[in-house]
Amino acid sequence: MSQFAINMIFVLGSFVIYTWIAVWARAKSTREFYIAGGEVHPVMNGMATAADWLSAASFLSVAGLISVGYVNSSFVMGWTGGYVLLATLLAPYLRRFGTYTVPDFVGKRYDSKAARVVAVVCLIIISLTYVIGQMTGAGVAFARFLEVSADWGLILSAIVVFFYAVLGGMKGVTYTQVAQYVVLILAFTIPAIYLSLMMTGNFFPQAGFVGDHTASGMPLLHKLNQVVSDLGFQDYTQDVSNKWNMFLFTLTLMVGTAGLPHVIIRFFTVPNIQDARWSAGWALVFIALFYTTVPALAAMSRLNLIETVFPQGTDQPSLVYEERPEWFKNWEVTGLLTFNDKNNDGRIQFYNDGTLPTPDKTFDKAEERGWMGNELTVNNDIMVLAVPEIANMPPWLIGLMAAGAIAASLSTASGLLLAISSALSHDLLKNTLTPNITDKQEMLYARISMTVAIIVATWLGLNPPGFAAQTVALAFGIAASSIFPVLMMGIFFARINSRGAVAGMLAGSTFTIGYIFTYLGIFFIPGTNFLQNTPSEWIFGISPLSVGCIGAAINFTTAITVSLLTEKPSEEIQEMVRRVRYP
């Protein structure tokens, strides 16, 4: 059977499962549509949260990002550490309060339509930015594995999501996410285990990561440091000089994670507050399975790539182009690997010739060895995508990987779409514009909102606007500077009133967006930035990607000041805060 047929069987097979779940998990009330009836088992919810969280970018690109070296550890800590904040500061109390959506909590706690609407706007900016990347990610996965154009892949994915999200709402989304988690975690960890066995003899990649490299007998990370350094790249484990910015960036990712509405609403689906706490733990178990594997896979893939190009060691002549392995040829076709024989010696020279982003060290023996520049460009996504072929894994595993990449995109997309549609139907329609509708009518509006959200997301995925590539800056920046503080203050500071909450959200998000636009351009249009996006131009050395936590601090300060200067919240609200803390 051809690889194409195998990939097709895996992807279509997974689609059949998702559609079957859609039919089985039809929502019969708004309670089922918004929070799956509040009856999801904490372990199941943990799995669904992990699938919600692990996106197309996590699956395809994070290992590549991490393979740059220690500097990108921020992503590893940032995208896991937020769950500690969720578990201790937000999720249990919001579950006890018992709302359907995130803006719903804001609207009720502050007894303010204005606060609710501001929260809805923030939610929509965050989730829309985020969902575009998922739609294009699904398209890319299709194009890579199924020889379908990315556009058609995207449309097909949207149709599948339409089935289970419109029919089942949160109930359908939850149970498909559980299935999608199983597919994606197998697809990610099995290749990593193969690679770890091949390179270190350890079954667990986490052990191989700190273990010895079989071929040289040296610790894997020492060997990696040695070969990258031999070729003029920065040491893999080299410390960073701008710790201040690394600290702020990690903090922004953590606080942003805790403020993402599509993650928070997952905790509304468990039966009670005790389960909400356990569920946060289970979510991190399933996420940790992924994120502790990522650094191992990144290091091993990077070492493997260099060993492929320098089969006899970095001080010996490099690989003859005509003798390159089969997987190398396959990925050349996709353009993810490109070779340009600058010195016409028929060999592949791969080194830091000073044109790479880390030119603090360059390879000084180039001239001596007759090299005339780096000849191999590598797209970092290859660190994940090429592993099955590098490790000579059976063809069905490549099929599983195709299904896994698509599962990662769809599970996150559906969670985001649900957050958007419930904010539209429950917050904007039911609680602001048309309060007198019945449960049945609201359900219909919820399904219409979901359909609209899918159509908009599909259209934006097909015609991605400039901000589509800015998920980290926009989504995490705004989540950290608006949603997280307003929720946390709602629980922990009884004195915060509606004026304070609205002023805080506006100040935090306006500052964050303003700072980002200053360096990355207004609406990310190239050339409209006021200042150059270079470390020397950053105010106090803060990169625009790290500014969300500063925005959060501004939000807290503004909200507290404004609240103290204006009236105390009413008795009913104080009672509400009491109920969130101890019923």
Is the Cβ of residue 147 or residue 575 nearer to another protein in the bound state?
575
> Does residue 574 interact with another protein by CB under 8 A?
yes
CA–CA distance from 393 to each of 190, 199, 325, 565 (Å)?
10, 14, 14, 66
CB of 192 to another protein, least distance (A): 14
Is the Cβ of residue 87 or residue 160 nearer to another protein in the bound state?
87
> Does residue 567 interact with another protein by CB under 8 A?
no
Is the Cβ of residue 74 or residue 318 nearer to another protein in the bound state?
74
> Does residue 270 interact with another protein by CB under 8 A?
no
CB of 94 to another protein, least distance (A): 14
| Residues 68, 379 contacting (CB under 8 angstroms) | no
| Residues 210, 219 contacting (CB under 8 angstroms) | yes
> Does residue 568 interact with another protein by CB under 8 A?
no
Residue choice 13, 201, 281, 394 for contact with another protein (CB under 8 A):
281
Name the helix (H) or strand (E) containing 338: strand 337-339
359 token code pair: 């030119």
Segment lying near another protein (by CB under 8 A), choices 53-61, 75-83, 120-128, 526-534: 75-83
CB of 97 to another protein, least distance (A): 12
Residue choice 64, 92, 232, 548 for contact with another protein (CB under 8 A):
92
For residue 280, give the nearest of 58, 549, 122, 52 by alpha carbon. Answer: 52
> Does residue 89 interact with another protein by CB under 8 A?
yes
CB of 120 to another protein, least distance (A): 29
> Does residue 510 interact with another protein by CB under 8 A?
no
Using a CB cutoff of 8 Å and minimum separation of 24, what contacts does 218-226 make?
A: 220/299, 220/300, 220/303, 221/299, 223/303, 224/299, 224/302, 224/303
Q: Which residue has the tokens 């419109």?
A: 166
C-alpha 106/C-alpha 211 separation (Å) is 49
Residue choice 73, 379, 510, 561 for contact with another protein (CB under 8 A):
73
Is the Cβ of residue 416 or residue 573 nearer to another protein in the bound state?
573
Residues near 302 by Cβ (< 8 Å), separated by ≥ 6? Answer: 67, 224, 228, 236, 383
- Residue 26's SS3 state is coil
Residues near 210 by Cβ (< 8 Å), separated by ≥ 6? Answer: 219, 220, 221
Q: Which of residues 95-154 bind another protein (CB under 8 A)?
A: 96
Residue choice 7, 61, 80, 112 for contact with another protein (CB under 8 A):
80
| DSSP single-letter state for residue 316 | S
Is the Cβ of residue 258 or residue 547 nearer to another protein in the bound state?
258
Residue choice 149, 274, 340, 532 for contact with another protein (CB under 8 A):
274
Is the Cβ of residue 540 or residue 582 nearer to another protein in the bound state?
582
Measured at the CA of 254, the angle between CA 248 and CA 259, to 5 degrees, comes to 120
532 burial via Cβ count (<10 Å: 0-12, 13-18, 19+): exposed
Is the Cβ of residue 145 or residue 233 nearer to another protein in the bound state?
233
| Residues 35, 279 contacting (CB under 8 angstroms) | no
217 burial via Cβ count (<10 Å: 0-12, 13-18, 19+): exposed
How many residues bind to another protein according to rule CB under 8 A? 55
CB of 288 to another protein, least distance (A): 5
> Does residue 522 interact with another protein by CB under 8 A?
no
Q: Which of residues 229-268 bind another protein (CB under 8 A)?
A: 237, 239, 243, 246-247, 250-251, 254
- Residue 337's SS3 state is strand
Measured at the CA of 291, the angle between CA 212 and CA 257, to 5 degrees, comes to 150
Residue choice 22, 47, 54, 87 for contact with another protein (CB under 8 A):
87
Q: Which of residues 186-215 bind another protein (CB under 8 A)?
A: 206-207, 209-212
CB of 122 to another protein, least distance (A): 24
> Does residue 280 interact with another protein by CB under 8 A?
yes
Half-sphere exposure of 531 (CA within 13 A, CB side): 16
Sign of the Cα torsion 573, 575, 581, 583 reads: negative
Q: Which residues in this chain contact another protein in the complex, by CB under 8 A?
A: 66, 70, 73, 76-77, 80-81, 83-84, 87-89, 92, 96, 206-207, 209-212, 218-222, 237, 239, 243, 246-247, 250-251, 254, 271-274, 277-278, 280-281, 284-285, 288, 291-292, 295, 571-572, 574-575, 578, 581-583
